[in-house]
Structure 1
Amino acid sequence: MDDERAEAAEAEQRVVDLAQRAEEAAREAAAADERHRTLRSTVGAAVAELERRLAETAEAQRICETDQKNARQRHAQADREASRAEGRIEQLEKDLAEAVDARAEAIAALQRFTATGLVAVALPEVTVPASDDGHWAATPAIAFARAIESGLSNVDDTDAAWERVQRRLSEELKTLQDTLSRHGHSASARMVEDGMVVDIVYQGRERAVPELAEALATEVGELTRILSAHEREILETHLITEVAGTLQELIGAAERQVRDMNTELEDRPTSTGMRLRLVWRASRKAPSGLAQARERLRQSADAWTPEDRAAVGEFLQAQISRQQSDDGSGSWLDHLTAALDYRSWHEFGVERHQHGRWVPATGPASGGERVLAVSVPLFAAASSHYASAGSPHAPRLVTLDEAFAGVDDDSRAKCLGLLSAFDLDVVMTSEREWACYPQVPGIAIAQLSRIDEVAAVLVTRWEWDGTRRQRREDPVRNAPQATPSAEEPEPLWN
């Protein structure tokens, strides 16, 4: 018990001590707090700024450390790339040296090829670079190569084209050799680095192909001038009068024939009153000066003045020159025949009379009138063609299939009469037309008849003499026939 009371007393004493110490600590804390508040109130702003700057400095230090790390990495990468670049520079320097050598060799090869003269033949307008100490500079050589490439851009350079050229080369060379040898000249071929060069000896001296072409052009021009003067002399002294007289007769005959045809057409208007006429006029492709020359050609050559004679000569000479330029392969006779063919200078047209004037027959019209407007010029053309026959008894055959379809009977009669007026021998087929009209002086008719499922056609023959139609016997069916044998079939009819 005493021990316990002693312990309790000690505990109470410790409690009292601890309470005193707590009060002292509270007073010290209050004093420290008061001192802290006092200090913050006096230096708090400077401390906050210092703390902010310390935080910024720490952040900047962290960024610098990161940048330093990245810079070290980039430095290592740049060092590796520099090593690779040095190796690439060495390779490029090697490639450049090889390219310079290759360019020099290509320029030398182009210079050697140009020396053969083939470039001058293919592209005479391209200027060859000037040589410096026997060698071409790079810049003009490159420009020259580009000019060649541009000038030959349209040339077919495929393998097939090259094979065709190689095949033709020997043929063309043989033709050249044969042509030159006939006139005492020669040509030989030799192979060079990139092709074949032909050496030509013309008039005792060696010539390149461009020189030969220039010499031949000069010679041809001189011969052409002499020949032109000779042609003009022939025209002026021999042909003008004779040709003019013949052309005068032919043109006059054609105009008279057109007038005769129009006279026949005037007497045969269609049932609708349509009147047609033919016109013979200068064609759309007629040579210039035809109208003036035609007026002079209508006159007698004896009545020509010197100016008329010169004008006709110039006109004929122009036609001959134009024909020679259009057909360089023809002979002199062919050129004269084509150049002096007056028919090619003219064309036929069809006009009809409408509202008191003649207009082209291509406007609106009925079906029958359109058929007549198309048929009449054909009949006229056939008549004009057959009129050139030497014998008056020569056949003048015209064949018509389904003749005058869509044309009324009156127009049919008049159109068939027009065929008779043109003195044409007509063979025609028609579903219903028998041509038995007073305008037709005579015609033979074969009427064909058939029945379905019967493999035969019945032919009945008729004749029209201008006034009456009569039945005629078939000369084939009524001809004496031999007695059919057992092997031959019986005829379907007699």
Structure 2
Amino acid sequence: NMDQTKQQLEQLKRDQQSLKKLCRQYDRYNQLVLAEKAEGLIKTDRDLRKFQKQREELTTELIDQRIQHENFNERMKDLKQEKLSLEEETEALKKHAVFDAENERIQLEVFIEKLKKQTTQKKNILKQKKDREYDLREKINLEEKNTANLEVDMTNTLLDLSREGEEAKFPGHQTAAKDFEEQYKSEFYFDLWKRECQDYLKKAENILKVLQEESRARDRYNETSQELGEAQKELDRRRYEEKKWYGLFEEEREKLLTSIHKWLKGSEELILTEEEIQNLIRSFSNLHEDYTFEKACAPMFQANQRCLNTLETENVRLKHLIEEKQDEKEKLEREIQEWKGKKDPEPERHLDTQSARYALEKAGISYLPFFAAVEFRTEVALEVRERLESAITRMGFLDALIVPEKYTKRLVKHDRVLKPNPHILAHTLGDYLYPTLADDHKGVTATDIDNILRSIIVGEVKDKLTVPTVDKDGRYSISMLSGHAPREEQAVFIGKEARLRFRKQTIARLTEELVGVIRELDALAIKENLIKTRREKLEEEYNAFPGDCDSREAFTNYQELKLQVKTQTEEVERVNQKLKNDLNKLQEIKARLRNLTIGMPLVAKEEVYEAALNYMKEYSGYLQNLEIAYQKYISNLRLLAQSRESLSDVEEDVDELKGELNSLDDQLVLKERQLSEVFKKLQELGAEEIRQEINRVETRLNAIPEEMVDVTKKQRDAYNAIKSMEDSVNERELDIKVAIELFKLWKKVFSEEMNLNLIKDKSLLQLEKGEEALKYAGRFLQKIGYLMQSTDRDKVSDNLNQSFHQEHGVLVEYRPTQDTICELKVVPEEFAWDAEDNTLQLKLKQLIQTSRRVQLILEYSGKRVSPYYVLEEMDKDIELQQTILSEKDRELYEDIIVHSVGRIIRSRINRADKWVTQIDGLMAERDTSNGLTFSLKWKPRTAEREEELDTMELVEILRRDSRLLGEKDIERVTRHFRSQIERAKETMVEKGYGETLHQVIKEMLDYRRWFSFTLYYRKAGETKRELTNHVFFTFSGGEKAMAMYIPLFSAAYSRYLEARDDAPYIISLDEAFAGVDEKNIRDMFDLVETLGFNYIINSQSLWGDYDTVPALSINELVRPQNAPFVTVIRYYWNGKVRRILRPQDEMSKVMEEDDDAKGNTNVVILAEQS
């Protein structure tokens, strides 16, 4: 059905969504793994190329270094020879007179330069001293002005202090100000003045705090007094509520006990013992006070469990019997099918024997079982046939094989072969049996069979040990064995007719047994359904046990209020104690204030002390300013004295420097004159050329040692570089060897990953023609390498594991598993010698870790396959189910338009239309006292969507003969219901659960939803109008009642018209005709009687003794003074007089005595009176 197909489709889509989520993570994981392996391959190739390039560069540089080293050796030899030559030339030049004169010149030039430096330094110092002298004079003038300004500031500050001190009534100001004016020019200390100021300020602050504390204490006392009044008022209110809720709780508990008594009487399955009933009533009598609801229900729970266990035990016993009978039924059905499928019945054979015969057929060896190769001769009696077959069976000949003579000596495993030894002119089985061969049988001949038959003697022989014999009475002999065969019903296997008869008899017997088992199963099913019904009844009675909502709520409220009363009582006591504490605190503060204000010149008011504190704070600030100004004044005086002393020292230094400069000028003139004389002497000796040669030789001799040291260093550096480069070249050779092996391993790992074919986007796996793995790895990494920048394998693996575990519950039927594969196990032996190389170990470790990967496997159609394969198959299944669902939709449309559903809807709409017409006619006949009448219309609804039909159009088409509908009409109706069904599917998706597609379509096809009822009213002299809620609430009480009762009675009567002639028209009313006046009540009874209703109604004040009522039984229920019982007083109304009935009167006799009441149906009114 559509629901089942829809559910299968939804399940497939859930599986598909779950698998898609898993595949997304798996595809991301596969891409990242392949990208990692591609990156490893590319990096290894890059390292190999880098090492090869480094080896070439190092080799070239090594050759250059060796050439440089040879050049440095040659340079060292040249420097040593040049040094020896220059030293010999120097010795020769030192012996010339010019050399001494040149030394003298050099000494004079050095001394003169020294004198010039000293002169320059002294001049600079003299300039600094003169600048310092000018600065000190300017500083002294400025400090004298600042000192005068500070004296003015201190005078002004003293005036401010006098003003603020007078406002604050500070008694210590006058004395302190006078002392300052007398002592400030020498030295004055502010400590006493500040201490007196702070003491006065602190005392005023303390008094102000106490004044504020007194104000707050007074406010707290007033607030607490008010709080006590409110708390006491709340306590009284809660005590009243507590008492009210306890009374309500007792009332609800009594109602609950009454409901439990009623439930106990009505229970048929859930039966409690007397002890359980007593315990239940006792517990509920003390409900919530001593027992919780669950604990009070314990006897009921116990009884329910006992009854449930009894039913469950019986149900388990029945299920066990049903399962046994079902197994027996299935076994018999299988046996019947097996017998029906057999061409001929065959004796039972061992499995090894069956295999052995199959092997003979495969080897091309013909054979026939004895029973299938022979047939009884027609003259052999049935009894003899049974005896012979039974004896042959016991001898083991019945299913033994007859083979061509050439195969008789061949050994056969797990089977028996008859070897011929025919007896001529002897009484043998050949006289009772003859060979029978199938038309298509080849190999075994009639002669082979006849030889076997004539090898078995019938009767007695002398040599029983060598000749098998059988007798017509069932006796047989074979070798050392002889015996008598037990009797069977008939011959079964020998003879085609015997086998056919046996097959039919067996099938008939098994069929009869099957019918018996089916009857037993039906009987057990009836018992099982009875148990199920009893269980449902038990559950219904269990669920019908009265609930405890009202009493629990009342008790909870009572408990809460009881706790609130206790809490509020404690609150009143707490507030009362707080009030006492606040009063004591206020009195204590007042006493403390009196002690603090003794001797203070201020009035003990909060605002006065606040003002005094402000003045004193200003006073304290001015005092601090005075002290700061005074400190600056004293500091300026000290700086002025220091500056004057420094000026005197600087003047003395200037005079001393001027004298030293005059002495240096005299020495410089003398030395310059001596230098002039030396130059004249050198000029006379021609020293310029000699000097230049000496300078050249000395300069070169000074430079050669440094150059030799530099060459020696370069020699050493070149030698070390050669050694280092030789080592580097060797290392690069080793690196290249290792890189080649690593490249091979990475290539193997990458190729294995590609061969797994786990990339969903197959375009990423396509190799170009002749493309190698390395080139493909680079191309793949360009396309997908961005993954490695945004994530890593650990994160992707975690996401895959998380997705696997999240979706495992949905995909559990596919048995998803995770396997670790492709892990590199073997490391090449070339790496063994370098096992301590940490870098190599890290690379190998990375290679092994990268090679290892997770593979997801799912089970589908009994095979272990990848998730991508399952997803593809799942897409095909979803497409198939959607196709099936579309076919179901088409069938549904045809069924609605043409077949049974359309016919049912047409008949229901026609019947409903007639029913509305009947109701409208009945209401139109009612004429109330104020002329108010009612009518009813059944209006078709308009279409909700453009592709849908209005109800009027749809009904008009459905009412036609389906055989006369045109293609256009069928298409319009199909489009209408397709839209409706699509809306039903959308509704189902929005709800998500709770309804099947069948239920939603059922609601859509409910023709009652295609129409809407509209009720109209008309008053005397007015036109007919629609009865809306607004109009209804403008009616009087009687009109409202009639607006409800007249349509209701008319609808009920219309429905009863479809009942049988002898069916009662029963209605019942609670609080009948409330709010209707006497005239209209009389009309209502007339309507009820006219329509022929049998009614049971109750009312607080209604008796029903109207002239429109021909006969009535009245029962008055009396409960005097809230008594725990009700008294029934019975009356009878005969249409004219109401009279009371005695207890012994019977209504039937009373009505027989009343001629007017004959033929009327008894009607009862329950009139409640208290």
In the superposition, the TM-score normalised over structure 1's length comes to 0.52
**RMSD (CA atoms):** 5.0
Q: Which residue of 2 aligns with 1:28?
A: none
Give the aligned residue type for 2:1035. Answer: A
Q: Which of 817, 824, 828 in structure 2 is aligned with 1:190? A: 817
SS at match of 2:1101: coil
Q: Which of 190, 214, 222 in structure 1 is aligned with 2:875? A: 214
Per-residue displacement from partner, 1:365-414 (whole Å, max 9, x unpaired)? 1122223223344444544555565x344444332211121111122233
SS at match of 1:452: helix
Q: Which residue of 2 aligns with 1:271?
A: 929
Q: Does 1:55 align with 2:720?
A: no
Q: Does 1:360 align with 2:1027?
A: yes
SS at match of 1:348: strand
Q: Is residue 1118–residue 1126 contact of structure 2 (8 Å, CA) maintained in 1?
A: yes
What is the CA distance between 1:216 and its match in structure 2? Answer: 3.1
What is the CA distance between 1:455 and its match in structure 2? Answer: 5.8
Worse-matched range after superposition: 345-354 or 380-389: 380-389
Q: Which residue of 2 aligns with 1:228?
A: 889
Q: Does 1:468 align with 2:1136?
A: yes
Structure with greater helix percent: 2
What is the CA distance between 1:292 and its match in structure 2? Answer: 1.3
Q: Is residue 269–residue 276 contact of structure 1 (8 Å, CA) maintained in 2?
A: no
Q: 1:295 to 1:285 in 2, by over 3 A?
A: closer
What is the CA distance between 1:430 and its match in structure 2? Answer: 0.6
Q: Does 1:431 align with 2:1100?
A: yes
SS at match of 2:1130: strand
Cα distance in 1 between the residues matched to 2:783 and 2:980: 57
SS at match of 1:263: helix
SS at match of 1:276: strand
SS at match of 1:246: helix
Per-residue displacement from partner, 1:251-283 (whole Å, max 9, x unpaired)? 222222222222222222333332222232346
Q: Which residue of 2 aligns with 1:248?
A: 906
Q: Does 1:311 align with 2:938?
A: no
Give the aligned residue type for 1:260. Answer: Q
SS at match of 1:428: strand
Cα distance in 2 between the residues matched to 1:56 and 1:469: 142
What is the CA distance between 1:196 and its match in structure 2? Answer: 11
After superposition, residues 391-402 of structure 1 pair within 5 angstroms as 391-402=1060-1071
Q: Which residue of 2 aligns with 1:370?
A: 1040
Q: Is residue 919–residue 1054 contact of structure 2 (8 Å, CA) maintained in 1?
A: no
Cα distance in 1 between the residues matched to 2:1070 and 2:1038: 16
Q: Which residue of 1 aligns with 2:201?
A: none
Cα distance in 1 between the residues matched to 2:943 and 2:1092: 31
Q: Which of 324, 338, 350 in structure 1 is aligned with 2:1015? A: 350
Cα distance in 2 between the residues matched to 1:56 and 1:377: 122
Q: Is residue 444–residue 463 contact of structure 1 (8 Å, CA) maintained in 2?
A: yes
Q: 1:308 to 1:373 in 2, by over 3 A?
A: same
SS at match of 1:356: coil
Q: Which residue of 2 aligns with 1:72?
A: none
After superposition, residues 70-85 of structure 1 pair within 5 angstroms as none
Q: 1:330 to 1:451 in 2, by over 3 A?
A: closer
Cα distance in 1 between the residues matched to 2:887 and 2:141: 109
Q: Is residue 856–residue 866 contact of structure 2 (8 Å, CA) maintained in 1?
A: no
Cα distance in 1 between the residues matched to 2:1002 and 2:943: 18
Cα distance in 2 between the residues matched to 1:456 and 1:415: 33
Q: Is residue 1016–residue 1024 contact of structure 2 (8 Å, CA) maintained in 1?
A: no
Q: Is residue 397–residue 426 contact of structure 1 (8 Å, CA) maintained in 2?
A: yes
Q: 1:173 to 1:139 in 2, by over 3 A?
A: closer
Q: 1:420 to 1:408 in 2, by over 3 A?
A: same
Give the aligned residue type for 2:860. Answer: V
Q: Does 1:403 align with 2:1072?
A: yes
What is the CA distance between 1:474 and its match in structure 2? Answer: 6.2
Q: 1:455 to 1:338 in 2, by over 3 A?
A: closer
Worse-matched range after superposition: 289-298 or 470-479: 470-479
Give the aligned residue type for 1:468. Answer: K
What is the CA distance between 1:55 and its match in structure 2? Answer: 3.4
Cα distance in 1 between the residues matched to 2:1107 and 2:921: 19
Give the aligned residue type for 1:268. Answer: R
- Size of the aligned set, in residue pairs, is 332
SS at match of 1:257: helix
After superposition, residues 193-204 of structure 1 pair within 5 angstroms as 199-201=858-860
Q: 1:229 to 1:262 in 2, by over 3 A?
A: closer
Give the aligned residue type for 2:1136. Answer: R
Q: Which of 950, 953, 960 in structure 2 is aligned with 1:292? A: 953
Q: Is residue 918–residue 1054 contact of structure 2 (8 Å, CA) maintained in 1?
A: no
SS at match of 1:219: helix
Q: Is residue 245–residue 300 contact of structure 1 (8 Å, CA) maintained in 2?
A: no
Per-residue displacement from partner, 1:257-315 (whole Å, max 9, x unpaired)? 22222222222233333222223234699895223112334555566555344434444
Per-residue displacement from partner, 1:411-436 (whole Å, max 9, x unpaired)? 22333344445554322111122233
Cα distance in 2 between the residues matched to 1:192 and 1:377: 75
Cα distance in 2 between the residues matched to 1:303 and 1:309: 10
Q: Does 1:340 align with 2:1005?
A: yes
Per-residue displacement from partner, 1:209-235 (whole Å, max 9, x unpaired)? 654553333222222233333444545
Q: Is residue 1116–residue 1129 contact of structure 2 (8 Å, CA) maintained in 1?
A: yes
Q: Is residue 916–residue 938 contact of structure 2 (8 Å, CA) maintained in 1?
A: yes
What is the CA distance between 1:200 and its match in structure 2? Answer: 4.3
Q: Is residue 981–residue 1001 contact of structure 2 (8 Å, CA) maintained in 1?
A: yes
Q: 1:436 to 1:246 in 2, by over 3 A?
A: farther
Give the aligned residue type for 1:431. Answer: Q
SS at match of 2:886: helix
What is the CA distance between 1:452 and its match in structure 2? Answer: 3.1
After superposition, residues 158-173 of structure 1 pair within 5 angstroms as 172-173=810-811
Identity %: 21
Cα distance in 2 between the residues matched to 1:244 and 1:310: 15
Q: 1:270 to 1:460 in 2, by over 3 A?
A: same
Q: Which residue of 2 aligns with 1:489?
A: none
Give the aligned residue type for 1:435. Answer: G
Q: 1:285 to 1:295 in 2, by over 3 A?
A: closer
Worse-matched range after superposition: 339-348 or 256-265: 339-348
Q: Is residue 984–residue 997 contact of structure 2 (8 Å, CA) maintained in 1?
A: no
Q: Is residue 286–residue 346 contact of structure 1 (8 Å, CA) maintained in 2?
A: no
Cα distance in 2 between the residues matched to 1:405 and 1:169: 64
Structure 2: where are the runs of 5+ without partners?
1-133, 144-638, 640-756, 760-779, 821-852, 1148-1170
Cα distance in 2 between the residues matched to 1:195 and 1:284: 61
Q: Is residue 116–residue 197 contact of structure 1 (8 Å, CA) maintained in 2?
A: no
Give the aligned residue type for 1:405. Answer: A
Q: Which residue of 2 aligns with 1:81?
A: none
Q: Is residue 1014–residue 1026 contact of structure 2 (8 Å, CA) maintained in 1?
A: no
Structure with greater strand percent: 1
SS at match of 2:1104: coil
SS at match of 1:351: strand
Cα distance in 1 between the residues matched to 2:1028 and 2:1089: 23
